[in-house]
Amino acid sequence: MARKLRALKIREMEDIFVPILKNCPNIVELKKIHAHIVKFSLSQSSFLVTKMVDVCNHHAETEYANLLFKRVADPNAFLYNAMIRAYKHNKVYVLAITVYKQMLGHSHGENPIFPDKFTFPFVVKSCAGLMCYDLGKQVHGHVFKFGQKSNTVVENSLVEMYVKCDSLDDAHKVFEEMTERDAVSWNTLISGHVRLGQMRRARAIFEEMQDKTIFSWTAIVSGYARIGCYADALEFFRRMQMVGIEPDEISLVSVLPACAQLGALELGKWIHFYADKAGFLRNICVCNALIEMYAKCGSIDEGRRLFDQMNERDVISWSTMIVGLANHGRAHEAIELFQEMQKAKIEPNIITFVGLLSACAHAGLLNEGLRYFESMKRDYNIEPGVEHYGCLVNLLGLSGRLDQALELIKKMPMKPDSAIWGSLLSSCRSHSNLEIAVIAMEHLLELEPADTGNYVLLSNLYADLGKWDGVSRMRKLMRSKSMKKTPGCSSIEVDNMVQEFASGDDSKPFSKAIYRVLKLLVMHQRRMDDDIIEIMVHDIS
């Protein structure tokens, strides 16, 4: 009877502390509550310690949670699960596995404790966090051993673990054996193939999926954009709208790079309007993506207007705007914006300096470019990358300092890429320097032996200098390698659809009509030229 009364009293005391712990605002207050729990001899209550561990989890205080946990002589399954969950949520994956191993040790005791459906999702996610395939395999075996195979949440965590460990075959096996699949199951598998760039497989799974979510559509859109299949990204974005799925902030950020690369300005403007209406312009990532889209679609003023309207800007906002201005030849505006960035106490990054150095190259500001290049390491502790050296080589080349540019390339701490040698070769043609052009060409032949543009560039330089034997040699070399010039291509947006045209391509269903219109335009232009010549002759006579 006395034991029953004591148990009843403990439960009553526990019920008093539960709402207090639920409303605990911080770890300082938790320590005060803990002191009272100890005072009332309740420190061994797994129920109350579990609640305290949950508070520690919420405030990322895993050390204090561990202190509470270790002082309980006989923890129950709920306390073990709370501790594993706290370590997993705070990314202390190794300790989550350590507690799991302790729990397994209790499965053989007098009062055995077994892992359950609440244990395995966090243990498996910890294996995924550690990217430890072998450990995940062992835990997968435990899922079978302890009878949790048919739990959808557990199985989803297994699919995610195998996906993160790049073992998609195992992920598919778990997926195929699932008794019940939900949207998480499908989306996890899709995102795994997307992450590895396996879009054909991802698309096949997507098309098979019955109840597609915004996450499913966004994964496909972002996947196609990431591998450069921009037209496919736009196609899926439009399909998503047609089936009535409202785009969210993530889907807008995913599709905007495709708009930028294809020059789909009208769609980009619609996204801007939609984002404004939906209140998404409060999201700095959406604004940054829109600024980049406007810059790449040639509408830099629209991008600047949006930038000026932003209530909050990060380093990406400033850098994107600086790069955009630089690429539009507005070097002085880019430099002025950088000065504003410094006043705003925003620390620049590597992209910021790419924009600055590009701006200096566009405007021929050699001294400013050299100063910014030196400032990177000296003032901001940023090691110049190959792209920064490329900008400086381009700046020196455009300024006619080809010897200095070549010396800079030789002293680079990393291997120069084809873009750097190509930039030097292009500058050599502008300044008629055949000697350095040959050096650049030798390196380009090693790095890009199949790039016809390099051969054409050197051939043109020989022609400019009247060295026709060099032109002949280049043409023979191209013929011997069976090389053909890459056909030019362009794209245009009509009725929110991006159409791409390539030289010599007549596969478009409306190509005959296009050629007819072009023929009429040529004829019209010739008539205008004849009229102008006739007027000029009349004036002279």
pLDDT digits (tens, 9 = 90+) for 474-489: 676 666 655 555 555 5
Output the pLDDT for position 501: 59
Within a domain: 54: no
Residue 150 vs residue 295, higher pLDDT: 295
Output the pLDDT for position 250: 96
Q: Which amino acid is at 491?
A: S
pTM of the model: 0.79
Please give the DSSP secondary-structure letter assigned to residue 107. G
Output the pLDDT for position 1: 38
Task: Give the residue carrying structure tokens 């920064």.
Answer: 388
Within a domain: 446: no
Q: What is the mean pLDDT of the chain?
A: 86
Within a domain: 242: yes
d(CA 434, CA 426): 11
Within a domain: 222: yes
Within a domain: 398: no
For residue 4, name the pLDDT band (cuts at 50, 70, 90).
very low
Residue 130 above 70 pLDDT?
yes
- For 111-128, what is each residue's pLDDT tens digit? 788 999 999 999 999 999
Within a domain: 247: yes
Burial of 443 (C-beta count, 10 Å sphere; 0-12/13-18/19+): buried
Phi and psi (nearest 5°) for 310? Answer: -65, 135
Please give the DSSP secondary-structure letter assigned to residue 92. -
The parent domain of residue 293 ranges over 200-312
Within a domain: 277: yes
Contacts with 94 (C-beta within 8 Å, 6 or more apart), sequence order = 130
- For 305-315, what is each residue's pLDDT tens digit? 999 999 999 99
Output Rg (C-alpha) for the chain, integer angstroms: 33
Within a domain: 160: no
Most confident listed range (4-18, 44-58, 523-537): 44-58
Residue 2 above 80 pLDDT?
no
Closest CA relative to residue 341, chosen from 320, 327, 369: 320
Tokens encoding 209: 């999926």
- Contact 166/193 with Cβ under 8 angstroms? no
For residue 5, name the pLDDT band (cuts at 50, 70, 90).
very low
Closest CA relative to residue 67, chosen from 52, 77, 81: 52
Output the pLDDT for position 511: 67
Burial of 375 (C-beta count, 10 Å sphere; 0-12/13-18/19+): middle
3-state secondary structure 370-438: HHHHHHHHHHHCCCCCHHHHHHHHHHHHHCCCHHHHHHHHHHCCCCCCHHHHHHHHHHHHHCCCHHHHH
d(CA 250, CA 271): 12
Closest CA relative to residue 291, chosen from 318, 251, 261, 330: 318
For residue 435, name the pLDDT band (cuts at 50, 70, 90).
confident
Output the pLDDT for position 290: 97
**What total of structural domains would you count in the chain?**
1
Q: Which stretch of 124-133, 320-329, 351-360, 518-527 has the lowest confidence by average pLDDT? A: 518-527
For residue 447, name the pLDDT band (cuts at 50, 70, 90).
confident
Contacts with 310 (C-beta within 8 Å, 6 or more apart), sequence order = 284, 287, 317
